[in-house]
Amino acid sequence: MTAFPERGMGEDEVLSELEKRLNDDLTFDSGKILGSMCTYPHPLAQKIICLYMDRNLGDPGLHVGSRKIEEEAVQMLGDLLHLN
């Protein structure tokens, strides 16, 4: 069991620790992942995530625009699958 640290780490320490711990992970751009259910995010998706990562549909009353986009996306998927 890992004990909770006595003190927090600085940003550089956190990034360094993550780099060490995740060094063995395969990456999508390594060319060694085939048939995974996930892929590397599209560049536009990365930009959108960076711009709007603070939006949270856990309370849709706070993010009305996000809720509307989600509803439209679900309706569009339903149409694509002929579920309407």
> Based on the structure, what is the number of domains in the chain?
1
Q: In angstroms, what CA-CA distances link 3 with 6, 10, 61, 70? A: 9, 18, 39, 40
Instruction: Determine contact, residues 17/5, Cβ cutoff 8 Å.
Output: no
Q: Is the pLDDT of residue 64 over 90?
A: yes
The mean pLDDT of 14-36, rounded to a whole number, is 89
What is the residue range of 42's domain? 31-84
Q: Is the pLDDT of residue 36 over 80?
A: no
**pTM given for the model:** 0.62
The answer to whether residue 83 is domain-embedded is: yes
Residue 39 neighbours by CB under 8 Å, 6+ apart:
28
Task: Give the per-residue pLDDT at 11.
Answer: 97
The answer to whether residue 22 is domain-embedded is: no
The answer to whether residue 40 is domain-embedded is: yes
